[in-house]
Amino acid sequence: MTALNELTIRQAHNGLVKKEFTCLELARACLARIDGTNDDFNAFLEVFADEASEQARRVDAKIIIGGEVGPLEGIPLAVKDNILIRGKRSSSASKILEGYVAPYDAFVIAKLRAAGAVFLGRTNMDEFAMGSSTENSAYGPTKNPWNPKLVPGGSSGGSAAAVAADMCLAALGSDTGGSVRQPAALCGVVGLKPTYGSVSRNGLMAMASSLDQIGSLTKTAADARIVFKAIAGGDHWDSTAVPDRHNREKTDVKGLRVGVPKEFFIEGMDAEVEKAVREGISRLGEMGATIKEVSLPHSDFALAVYYILMAAEVSSNLARFDGVRYGRREAGDILREVYGRTRAAGFGAEVRRRIMLGTHVLSTGYYDAYYKKAQQARTLVRNDFSRVFEEVDLLAAPTTPTVAWPIGEKFEDPLTMYLSDIYTVSANVAGIPAVSVPCGFKDGLPIGLHLLGRPFGEETILSVAESYEQVSDWLKEKPAL
């Protein structure tokens, strides 16, 4: 029998309903795995062993008296450290938030809590979600469960590693330019970034507000749907959250039109990654989808658009970390000195780099050349997608140009690091949903197939991902821990 911590959400739910095991046993199996492996991978920054056991006991009590068991009831989840859980520390893996305790539950946490989910702990990340490798954490890098010498991707690297190493059944992450999908690809799990505006970000620490979205890291696409259904929705604390527009779209792969954007198969992409992705796409064709090459002519500009707009929004959003109301405060004679020293001591290099880049592109004399230009180019990138989605129902492409790389390799070269997001950023720039699913291996390292959908087309991409999983064996592969 599969160890309990290795189950998917759906399998665990079935087991709980049939009373094959208890929630407490399920939570303890995860806690034991964390206990045994977290020192090797540094996926969790903090584990809530007592609270998790207590939450699990409460669900067990309910099941014993014959209460109905919801799909997430008693399911142990991990939460990225930039999502607030009331009464628990929350730091975005930054020294500037040392000692900060969340005063309220994020929207998604409140929803999951109401659904009976069990929170195992908070996971490591690139500081304030800025990075593609989880090396930018103030608490040390997370390591890839497939090979601890390699990065897990980022910025939700702790969540991806925790799912891949079966320390939890699923995890929450956030995705501003690929931070859920890219680590999912590099760790061999399923990463979903929903449509912009489909999940309220109240209680998610803001990085770049026109791009940020909360997503999930799960073991299957079916599990991604379960988590998405539970967290989708808006509240009046996030004015960009859109009232539910999700349609039940066509879900049978047969007859769906899948577009393959030719610009996503570029020079510099790993040949074996390309081969695995192309084979995955052929598989969709064998399942009855129509495969068609399409063009997104402005793809090559999406990354530049992203790095200008993201940095601009970062410089504005992170102005709040000034040592006044929360977190760390350095000494100074006057307020301005306190600001300068607190932000110098509290922020890591990548965060400071992006704040200064954002300050530059917004400053007098540069605003039109950078910020406004990027906003206009953003329109062109969006228009590409709108046009293509008139011809096809979804797009299929690689999630990343390469598999996981050695820790330290790109750390001192930010521009090269940024290029690892080249395929994922356009979904954020256009605000569309996208999911990464495992589609093969290179030298024992996972490769991700990227499916992109129309706005609010989560159902379509998840259905295709789920059907693909049923005809492929990639999810059965587990890292040898």
Partner 1 sequence: MKITEQQIEHLADLARIELTDVEKVKFGSQLSAILGYVNKLNQLDTEGVPATSQVTGLLNVWREDHIEGCEPAARELIVENFPDRQENLVKVKGVFKATPEEF
Residue type, 31: L
Residue 95 engages partner 1 in binding (rule: CB under 8 A):
no
Taking the complex as a whole, how short is the minimal distance between the CB of residue 474 and partner 1, in angstroms? 32
Taking the complex as a whole, how short is the minimal distance between the CB of residue 89 and partner 1, in angstroms? 11
C-beta atoms surrounding 88 within 10 Å: 19
Residue of 265, 359, 409, 481 that binds partner 1 (CB under 8 A): 359
Q: What is the 3-state secondary structure (H, E, C) of the chain?
A: CCCHHHCCHHHHHHHHHCCCCCHHHHHHHHHHHHHHHHHHHCCEEEECHHHHHHHHHHHHHHHHCCCCCCCCCCCEEEEECCECCCCCECCCCCHHHCCCECCCCCHHHHHHHHCCCEEEEEECCCHHHCCCCCCCCCCCCCCECCECCECCCCCCHHHHHHHHCCCCCEEEEEECCCCCHHHHHHHCCEEEECCCCCECCCCECCCCCCCCEEEEEECCHHHHHHHHHHHCECCCCCCCCCCCCCCCCCCCCCCCEEEEEHHHCCCCCCHHHHHHHHHHHHHHHHCCCEEEEECCCCHHHHHHHHHHHHHHHHHHHHHHCCCCCCCCCCCCCCHHHHHHHHHHHHCCHHHHHHHHHHHHHHCCCCHHHHHHHHHHHHHHHHHHHHHHHHHCCEEEEECCCCCCCECCCCCCCHHHHHHCCCCCHHHHHHCCCEEEEEEEEECCEEEEEEEEECCCCHHHHHHHHHHHHHHCCHHHCCCCC
- Closer Cβ to partner 1, 157 or 358, answer by number: 358
Taking the complex as a whole, how short is the minimal distance between the CB of residue 181 and partner 1, in angstroms? 18
Q: Are 83 and 214 in contact (CB under 8 A)?
A: yes
Q: Which residue has the tokens 């991990």?
A: 78
Residue 102 engages partner 1 in binding (rule: CB under 8 A):
yes
Stretch that binds partner 1, among 23-31, 276-284, 337-345, 437-445 (CB under 8 A): 337-345
Residue 355 engages partner 1 in binding (rule: CB under 8 A):
yes
Residue 104 engages partner 1 in binding (rule: CB under 8 A):
yes
Q: Which residue has the tokens 């992203």?
A: 306
Residue 353 engages partner 1 in binding (rule: CB under 8 A):
yes
Residue of 50, 68, 267, 333 that binds partner 1 (CB under 8 A): 333
Residue 326 engages partner 1 in binding (rule: CB under 8 A):
yes
Q: Is 179 a catalytic residue?
A: yes
Residue 341 engages partner 1 in binding (rule: CB under 8 A):
yes
- Closer Cβ to partner 1, 78 or 381, answer by number: 381
Taking the complex as a whole, how short is the minimal distance between the CB of residue 432 and partner 1, in angstroms? 9
Residue of 35, 363, 406, 444 that binds partner 1 (CB under 8 A): 363
Residue 257 engages partner 1 in binding (rule: CB under 8 A):
no
Residue of 40, 252, 337, 391 that binds partner 1 (CB under 8 A): 337
- Closer Cβ to partner 1, 147 or 213, answer by number: 213
Residue of 304, 472, 475, 481 that binds partner 1 (CB under 8 A): 304
- Closer Cβ to partner 1, 21 or 301, answer by number: 301
- Closer Cβ to partner 1, 108 or 308, answer by number: 308
Residue of 13, 122, 298, 454 that binds partner 1 (CB under 8 A): 298
Residue 481 engages partner 1 in binding (rule: CB under 8 A):
no
Residue of 80, 122, 201, 378 that binds partner 1 (CB under 8 A): 378
Residue 233 engages partner 1 in binding (rule: CB under 8 A):
no
Pseudo-torsion of CA 128, 80, 329, 336, nearest 10°? 20
Residue 295 engages partner 1 in binding (rule: CB under 8 A):
no
Residue among 90, 92, 179, 299 flagged as catalytic: 179
Number of residues that bind partner 1 (CB under 8 A): 71
Residue of 301, 475, 478, 481 that binds partner 1 (CB under 8 A): 301
Q: Is 295 a catalytic residue?
A: no
Within 163-222, which residues bind partner 1 (CB under 8 A)?
A: 196-197, 210
Residue of 70, 291, 414, 472 that binds partner 1 (CB under 8 A): 414
Taking the complex as a whole, how short is the minimal distance between the CB of residue 361 and partner 1, in angstroms? 8
Cα–Cα distance, 166 to 2 (Å, whole number): 11
Residue 114 engages partner 1 in binding (rule: CB under 8 A):
no
> What is the set of active-site residues?
80, 155, 179
